[in-house]
Structure 1
Amino acid sequence: MLGGSSGANYMLYVRGNKRDYDEWEENGLEGWSWDSVLPYFIKSERLRSEEILASPSADLHGTDGYLGVTRPLWQGKVENDLEAFKENGHEILVDTNGYEQLGYSLPTFTIDNKTRQSTSVAFLRPIKDRENLRVLTNTLCRKILFDENMRAIGVEVKLPNGKIISLMANKEVILSGGAINSPQLLMLSGVGPKKHLEEMSIQVLLDAPNVGKNLQDHPTVPILINKGKNASSLFADVELITNLDKFPIPAFIGHVALNKSQSFPDYQTYALSIGVDSIIPAVMCSHVFRYDDEICRGMVQIGRTNHLLFTGVTLLHPESRGRVYLKSKDPEEKVLIYNGYYTDLNDLKKHMKSVEDFLTVLNTTQMRKIDAKVFVSIDQCKDYTMNTPEYWKCYILNMVTTLWHPVGTCAMGPEGEGVVDASFLVYGTKGLRVIDGSAMPKIVSGNTNAPIIMMAEKGADEIKIAYGIRIS
C-alpha cells in the first residue's frame, strides 16, 4: 500500500534513546549523533498535546510538520495500572520522547484529524498535485539498471498490465523498499554477496558481501496478566467503535533498564487494558500473533470473566543477527528471511531477565489487592516449574514473535562494514542511495517508524546538499 508499513502499524510515535544515535556516530557515522538528528524529528512532527507542550520537554517537539501526532489520555482506564508500576519504582512520564525516557507513560500516536498519519497521508497527500511527482501503483520494481561505470541509470518495472518497461533517471535512483525488499532488489540487480548471486545464476556486477546481512528486529513475547473480575478497568468493546478517532484501546508503554544505573532501556513493554469478555484476546492471539488455536482458546476463556492486561515484553538491543537471502532470481519470488533470534544466547538470558523484571509488578500493593496473576496457556513448558528462569526461557522460545521492526540489511557504516555511507550512497556504485529502515546500522530503543521518517528527512537534505540546493 502507499505509505508502506506505516499504513498498517500500531501507530506508536517513539523516537528511541539519545544514546542510540550517539553510538551510531561513535561507530563512524559522522552527522548521526542525537544532536544532529533531533532537528529532523522536530521538522516532521506536528504535535497536538497540551500536556507535552506545557512540559519541560516541549522544546524537543515540532508543531508545524507534516506528521500529525496526538496523545490520548484514557481517564479512568489505566491509572491504577500506572500506579502499580510507580509503586514498583518506575517513573511515570508525561512524554515518552522527553529528556527522560526510562519509565512508563501514555504514548503518543501518529494519529491526527481522526486519521492514521501514514507516510502517504502525512507526506504524499499534501503534495500530490506537484508537477514533478508521479506515483505508479501496483507496479513492481524488478531491478536497478547500471551503465558500464556502475552508475545507476534507471529501474526496470512491471506495470499492472504485465508489461515490463525501463524508467530512466537523470540524476539518481533511490531505493526505499524496506529491510526486506531493498536488499532483494540490490541482489536481483547483481549487487550482493558474490557466491550467493552465482548460486542464483545472477550476473555479479559488484561483490557486496554485506547486502542482506545485519538483519535486526525486536523480538517480543506476550505476557497476559489476569486482574480478576473486580479490577477497575471499565473498557468495553463498544469503545472500539466509539474511539476510532484515536487509538481505540486504553494503552500505556514502558522503557526499562535492568541495570538501574544506566540511562537507556533494555526492554520495552506495551500494554493494553482489556475489559471482561472482550474480543481483543482472540484478535491479538490468532490474527496478530497467529499462535495456534489451543493457546488462543486459553486466552479467550480466561478473558470471558476477567479483566486482563495484555502486554508485550520486547528485547530492545539484541546482539543476534539474521539475514535476507534470495530464493530465486525471479523478482516475484519472496525472499528467505532468517531472523536469527537468540543465535547469541545472551539475548535469551536478557529477555528472560526482562520478563522476570516486568513481573515484579505483581508484588505491588495495587496488584496484590486484586490478586493479579500471570496467565499462560502453553503445554510445551509443563515440565518446568512455573516462574523459574528455566520456565521463562522455555516460554520465550515457544512464544517469541516479531514486533515487525526489521532493519539493518543495507546498513550505514564505514566502507567494508556497511552497504551505504552516512549519506545513504551505496558503496561501489554511483547515483544510487538506499533510504529506508534497511540503512539503520543498529536498531533503536523503541518502535522504528518515527526514526525511519527522521532518516528520510535527513536523506532528503543529503540529496539537496549533493546538488547544491540550499536546505532550510
Structure 2
Amino acid sequence: MEIYDYIVVGAGSAGCVVASRLSEDPGVRVLLVEAGPDMNHLWVRMPAGAGKLFMNKQFNWAFDTEPVPTLGGRTVYWPRGKGLGGSSSINGMIYMRGQPSDFDQWAALGNDGWSWADVLPYFIRSEANQRGASEYHGGQGPLHVSDAAVTHPTADDFIAAAQQVGIQRSADLNGPPHEGVAYRQYTIRNGRRHTSYNAFIEPVRHRRNLTVRTGVRVTRVLLESGQATGIEVIDQGERRQIAAAREVILSGGALASPHLLMLSGIGDGAALHHHGIAATIESPGVGRDLQDHWFGSLAWRVTPESSYNHRLRGLHKYLEGIRYLLTGSGYLALGAAPVTAYARSEAGRPEADLQLTVSPMTFKFNASGNPVVDDFPAVSGSMVLLTPDSRGHLALKSPDPLQAPAFHPNYLSDPGDIRRSIAGLRLMRRIAEAAPLSSRIVNELVPGVSVTTNEQLLEHLKKNGNSGWHQVGTCRMGVDGQAVVDPRLRVRGVSRLRVIDASIMPRIVAGNTNAACIMIGEKGADMIRADAAPARAVSR
C-alpha cells in the first residue's frame, strides 16, 4: 500500500495551496490527488478562453441542479473546474476578497481566529500584486494579481455614472473603504490566466516529497476507530487504497467535499441509511447551508464606439488573436467584466450587498455550447446579490460515488433576497440613465423597457437570472450542533480529517470566492502544521 503523511483530495483553489505549503517541510510526504486532467491548454491559458470552457466537459464537471421550485421549476447549470487548478482554471479570474465584515461575522459566530484582522495576513502572504506591497497587499507571494490589460471608455463612463448616483470612486476594492466603484484586478500573469495550480504547485512540483496524481477518482475516506486512515480510489479502472499516516484533507469544493463525507458514512444517518450507507459519524449538517450568488442580467444596445463586439468578430477577431499572441495584451487578455460597483440595496444596510458590473461586449452561447459575440454594438451588465439569506442543500442520489448528488439551491426563497435583488436592478438602471454613460445607450435590450413593475422584474430574475457559480457552506465551520467542521477545520467526530475549501464558509463572502478559497488554503495549512498530528504506524 502507498503511504503518505498527508493526502490532499482536490487540486483546486484551496487544495493546491494546502499541498504546496505542507510540502515545504521536506520531512513529510504529501499526495495531491485530482480527478480531472492536466489543464495546460490554450483556452485555459488565454483569459478570454473562459467562454470556451464554460460547457467543455473535458475540463468542466458541467453539473445541473434539480428543478428549482422558486424559479418556476428551472434547472440551473453549474460549471465546476475539473483538473489541476479546479475552478480557478475556468473562472472569470476576478480577484476579490470580500468585505472585512464577512470575516468578522465568521468570528462572531464562534469561529475564533477568522476575523478580518486574522485572515488579512494570509491574503497578503499569497499575493504578488502588480501594484506592489502595501498594508493590504502582498508583493512577493506565489499568486499574481494584475490590473486589466486594456481599459475602455464605456467602462470609464460606468465609473463616472455610478458616482453620479452616489457611489464613491475607489482606488482599491480590496482595501478601505471596501465599497465603491473601480476597475477590478485579476489572477492573470503576463497575459495568461494564473491558476492556483500555476501559482502554488507548478513551481514546486519537482519536490521529491510532493506527488501529484491526475485522473484519480476518490470514492471514500477510509475510517477506523474514529480516525481517517486514508482514501479509496479508482485509478486507471482499478479500485485501491492509499494510506495517510497523519491526515486526510478534503479540498474538493462545496459540491465534492460533502459528497465524499456522505459516501464515507459521515452525514445525516437516516439519509445515508436510505442509500445503504452505514452512518459511522452522525453529522446532520453535511450538505446543508448551501449558499450561492444569484444575478440578474441586463444589456443595452449602444453607439458603435461604445462596444468592442466588432473587435471580436470576423477579420478583427483574428487580428486580436495575433495581438494577443505577440503582446499578451488586448481584449483576449481580459478577465470577466472589467469594472464593478459595490453598493447597498437599502440605506439601512450595514455593508455593501450588491455587486454591479458592466462589460463593453455581449455574447450568447450557440447550440454546441460555444460563445458567439453579437453582431451589433452592445454592452452587458449584471446585478449580483452578495449576501443572500436563501439556503439550499445537496443530497445523495445514489451510493455510487461516480454519480453526482442532487443539488437543491433554493434560490430567491427568502423574501428579503427578492426585495434587495429588485432594488439592485433598479439601481443598475439609474446608473445607465446617468451621465456620461447615458449618452452611449441607444435602448435597453434586457430586461427591456416594458419591464417596469416589481412583479415583472421578479419574473425576469426567475426566468433569466443565473448562478454566480460561487457555491459555499456545505461543510460549514462552527461550534453548534449543525456545524460540520470546527474552527480549526477538523471534521467533528473524526480525528485526522479536515475540510479546507469553500464548503467551510459559515456565510458566503460579499465578493467573488476564489481569493477567499486561497486564503482558506493558506490558513488551513498553517493550522495543520501547528497542530502537528504525530504519524501513526501504518503497515504496508
Which protein has greater RCO, CA pairs closer than 8 Å, 6+ apart?
2
Of 454, 462, 469, 2:527 maps to: 462
* Counterpart residue number, 2:516: 451
Query: Which whole-Å deviations, capped at 9, do the CAs of 1:121-177 have from their partners, x for residues lacking one?
Result: 100011101111111110000001111x210001000102x1111101111110011
Of 210, 216, 236, 1:133 maps to: 210
* Counterpart residue number, 2:124: 42
Give the letter aligned to residue 359 of structure 1: R
Aligned with 2:498: secondary structure?
strand
Tell me how far apart the structure 2 counterparts of residues 214 and 157 of structure 1 sit (CA, whole Å): 28
Which blocks of at least 5 consecutive residues in structure 1 are unaligned? 275-279, 291-295, 379-383
**CA shift for structure 1 position 253:** 1.4
1:151-300 to 2 correspondences below 5 Å: 151-160=227-236, 162-229=237-304, 231=306, 236-237=311-312, 238=317, 241=321, 242-243=323-324, 244-245=328-329, 246-247=333-334, 251-260=338-347, 262=349, 264-274=351-361, 280-283=362-365, 287=369
Give the letter aligned to residue 8 of structure 1: I
Q: Is the 8 A contact 2:123 2:137 kept in 1?
A: yes
Tell me how far apart the structure 2 counterparts of residues 375 and 272 of structure 1 sit (CA, whole Å): 14
Tell me how far apart the structure 2 counterparts of residues 403 and 287 of structure 1 sit (CA, whole Å): 18
Aligned with 2:211: secondary structure?
coil
Which blocks of at least 5 consecutive residues in structure 2 are unaligned? 1-82, 535-540
4+ residue runs of structure 1 moved beyond 6 angstroms?
A: 232-235
Tell me how far apart the structure 2 counterparts of residues 287 and 94 of structure 1 sit (CA, whole Å): 37
Of 141, 148, 160, 1:65 maps to: 141
**CA shift for structure 1 position 343:** 1.7
Q: TM-score, normalised by structure 2?
A: 0.77
Q: Is the 8 A contact 1:102 1:263 kept in 2?
A: no
**CA shift for structure 1 position 332:** 0.5
Residues 349 and 283 from structure 1, CA distance in 2 versus in 1: closer, same or farther, beyond 3 angstroms?
same
Tell me how far apart the structure 2 counterparts of residues 232 and 191 of structure 1 sit (CA, whole Å): 51
Q: TM-score, normalised by structure 1?
A: 0.88
1:428-443 to 2 correspondences below 5 Å: 428-443=493-508
Q: Is the 8 A contact 2:111 2:477 kept in 1?
A: yes
What is the aligned-residue identity percentage? 32
Residues 435 and 187 from structure 1, CA distance in 2 versus in 1: closer, same or farther, beyond 3 angstroms?
same
Tell me how far apart the structure 2 counterparts of residues 265 and 447 of structure 1 sit (CA, whole Å): 13
Q: Is the 8 A contact 2:148 2:335 kept in 1?
A: no
Q: Is the 8 A contact 1:45 1:62 kept in 2?
A: yes
Residues 232 and 114 from structure 1, CA distance in 2 versus in 1: closer, same or farther, beyond 3 angstroms?
closer
* Counterpart residue number, 1:304: 375
* Counterpart residue number, 2:109: 27
Give the letter aligned to residue 269 of structure 1: L
Of 405, 408, 432, 1:338 maps to: 408
Residues 467 and 284 from structure 1, CA distance in 2 versus in 1: closer, same or farther, beyond 3 angstroms?
farther
* Counterpart residue number, 2:38: none
Q: Is the 8 A contact 1:73 1:106 kept in 2?
A: no
Tell me how far apart the structure 2 counterparts of residues 446 and 399 of structure 1 sit (CA, whole Å): 21
Aligned pair count reads: 439
Tell me how far apart the structure 1 counterparts of residues 367 and 320 of structure 2 sit (CA, whole Å): 17
* 1:316 lines up with 2:386 in the alignment: yes
6-15 vs 366-375, greater mean Cα deviation = 366-375
**CA shift for structure 1 position 227:** 2.2
For the aligned residue pairs, the C-alpha RMSD in angstroms reads 2.4
